[in-house]
Amino acid sequence: MARKETVRNAELLVEKTMKGNDASHDPAHVWRVRDLALSLAREEGLSSSPASMEIVELAALLHDIGDYKYLRDPSEGKIVENFLEEEGVEKDKKSVILKIIKGMGFKEEVTGHATSEWFPEFGVVQDADRLDAIGAIGVARCFTFGGSRKIKLHDPAIMPRSELSKEQYVNKDEQTTINHFHEKLLKLKDMMKTKAGKRRAEKRHKFMEEFLKEFYEEWNGVA
């Protein structure tokens, strides 16, 4: 099947499976990650390889389908694998795409279970997803998700955890939205894999630091 048709079918799958998610993990998030990933891939010199660009685009499009935070049925975890099979994606490409998707999560890396040897396609997709989690968009997404789960905005008595187990990270009920910045989002700049990702993360990271400074001043009534 032609790459163009497979990509369009992947877009349709995203729209079908993610349309009911809150705006922090909706199709618009996927479109941004796809665009970022392709842009990073070009900066990293991957555009000379059509196969690499196809892997990057499909992995970016499919990366959040079956996300544990929105899983309604255990069978949904196989949607991506089944899709790639039905689309006739070559075995080697399919294997790489699934490896990217399964290994790119923060909860894996923060607990030492991430892919030990990353490769360029993996790096640009993971960096793209993490870039969308920080900066102005990241701030908006963070509060959107917290509001959708009725997570407390801020509580000065609840200190951010310096180290998280996978179970603690997955258990969103134990967090405040502001603590999520300290427990995850502010760490992402230094976890970028590619030079292009690192460059872009600098500005977004600085924006979050300035936002938090203003937030605490307003919370304490001194701004």
Say how far apart CA 189 and CA 202 lie, in whole Å.
7
pTM for the full model?
Answer: 0.92
Give the angle 103-106-108 at the CA atoms, nearest 5°: 50
Token digits of residue 152: 């407390």
Query: Which CATH architecture group holds 3-219?
Result: Orthogonal Bundle (1.10)
Q: What is the DSSP string of 92-148?
A: HHHHHHHHHHHH--HHHHHTT-S-SS--HHHHHHHHHHHHTTSHHHHHHHHHHHHHH
Helix or strand holding residue 206 (H, E): helix 195-219
pLDDT in tens, the chain (223 residues): 558 999 999 999 999 999 999 999 999 999 999 999 999 999 999 999 999 999 999 999 999 998 878 777 666 669 999 999 999 999 999 999 999 999 998 866 665 555 557 899 999 999 999 999 999 999 999 999 999 999 999 999 999 987 766 666 666 556 899 999 999 999 999 999 999 999 999 999 999 999 999 999 999 999 7
Taking the alpha carbons at both ends of the chain, their separation in whole angstroms is 58
Calculate Rg over the CA atoms of the chain: 18
Burial class of residue 97 in the structure, from the number of CB atoms within 10 Å of its CB (0-12 exposed, 13-18 middle, 19+ buried): buried
pLDDT, tens digit, for every residue of 31-87?
999 999 999 999 999 999 999 999 999 999 999 998 878 777 666 669 999 999 999
Q: Which residues does 223 contact at the CB level (< 8 Å), separation at least 6?
A: 214, 217
All structural domains of the chain with their residue ranges: 3-219
